Amino acid sequence: MAPALTPEQAAVIKATVPVLAAHGTTITTKFYKDLLTTHPALKNIFNNTHQATGHQARALAGALYAYAANIDDLGKLSPAVELICHKHVSLYVKPEHYEVVGKHLLETMKSVLGEAATPEIMGAWAAAYWQLADIMIDKEAKMYDETSYWADWKDFRIARKAKEASDITSFYLEPVDERLRLPKFKPGQYISVNVFVEELEGGVWQARQYSLSDAPGKAYLRISVKREEGIELGDPKSKTHPGYLSNILHDKKKTGDVVKLSHPFGDFFFEQEEENIPVVLISAGVGLTCLTSILNTLAEEKNARPISWIHGARDSTSRAFKSHIEALAESNPNLKTAYFASQPGKEEIQGQDYDVRGRLDLGQISSDKLYLKSDETQYFVCGPTHFMLDVEASLQALGVPSERIKMELFGTGGVPRV
């Protein structure tokens, strides 16, 4: 445990905010380059695509800026810290990694800032780094303790692949070790899928997070993965495309193949509420995966809880699970649905294949499906970041307080509004 950050050091950190605004990305870009050159084994933890595109460097620069700007009120960063800790444990980041990262980050700051990096500034940043690192290490240690029976990557076999839409396939994953106890995860959480990519220089393990798309308590874990278009595996450019690993799963991984999985984690989930509290599930595209896990869990309750399922997709061919959800609605009169189609096909029929033409717009949803009269309704939102923030703004304009709006924002960089 590092010594506490003093008020004087906190003031120094606050004073460096303009420096981070000007040089943050330069610092973090050099930091990652030097770190991975010196410790190539860490390439198995860091996302190759995010490194190649500079996304990881920009995200870290933003995080450092947010930390410095809020050094005297770290409570504002709690949601982002929670999100990052869940991601860290899903990648099996350990305390020794913080040692290596801290050393290289401070060395890089000193190198880039030159004479401006006075002993006072560097001492303050060393204390600040370890203040945050200790908070995260402690939080992650508790999470590891809770999942100690699953302390590292576990081998899972692809038992079945099922095409759900033109670009979405479900993978049913069963443990190779039949003695492994599958967790009672919280619906909405994700797992990390770790795949060895021999095409990357030297061969590298690469992990991506995918939401679990079915209710807990099954003999398998299911993920439903969207294939990103425009990628030709084997083309050197494909190695830096955001959808690279999803295409490997679609094209190269067959039934019977083995991948490595983390224990489920994630700070976006449904927790059992009183049975009469309404739940509204709002998604766009493949964002429906985590909400399908929540919906399936709610359906298994077999009670009178009001539920709304609101989903936007390009057209019927790209809309996953529609027949499944419609079957749930037929057997559960408390489940209401609304489907948007931004570009419906010529053969699609409004009122049958979709309800509203255009992008998802809550202004087009009848008030009875949003349960606005209840001051307890819980809203779960997942999709592209701009979509989620737009939905959040729409709900807030309708009088819904932010604490009842939950969004899945698990990408690198954390919560955009911080």
Query: Any idea which residues carry the catalytic annotation?
Result: 98, 140
What is the rounded (10 degree) CA torsion for 385, 389, 390, 396? 160
Burial of 333 (0-12, 13-18, 19+ CB in 10 A): exposed
Using alpha carbons, select from 295, 324, 332 the residue that is nearest to residue 162: 324
DSSP state letters, 277-341: S-EEEEEEGGGHHHHHHHHHHHHHH-S---EEEEEEESSGGG-TTHHHHHHHHHH-TTEEEEEEE
DSSP 364: G
Strand order in the sheet with 307-313: 356-357, 335-341, 307-313, 279-284, 378-382, 405-407
Q: CA-CA distance, 140 to 262, in Å (whole number)?
A: 14
Q: CA-CA distance, 321 to 184, in Å (whole number)?
A: 23
Contact 226, 321 (CB under 8 A): no
Using alpha carbons, select from 293, 291, 321, 324 the residue that is nearest to residue 308: 291
Q: What is the identity of the amino acid at 50? A: H
Which helix (H) or strand (E) is 140 found in, with range?
helix 119-146
Q: CA-CA distance, 235 to 327, in Å (whole number)?
A: 42
As a residue count, the chain comes to 418
DSSP 77: G
* CA quadruple 83, 320, 398, 308: dihedral sign: negative
Phi, psi dihedrals of residue 322, rounded to the nearest 5° = -60, -45
Q: CA-CA distance, 211 to 185, in Å (whole number)?
A: 11
Using alpha carbons, select from 366, 382, 380, 364 the residue that is nearest to residue 277: 380
What contacts 411, CB < 8 A, 6 or more positions away?
385
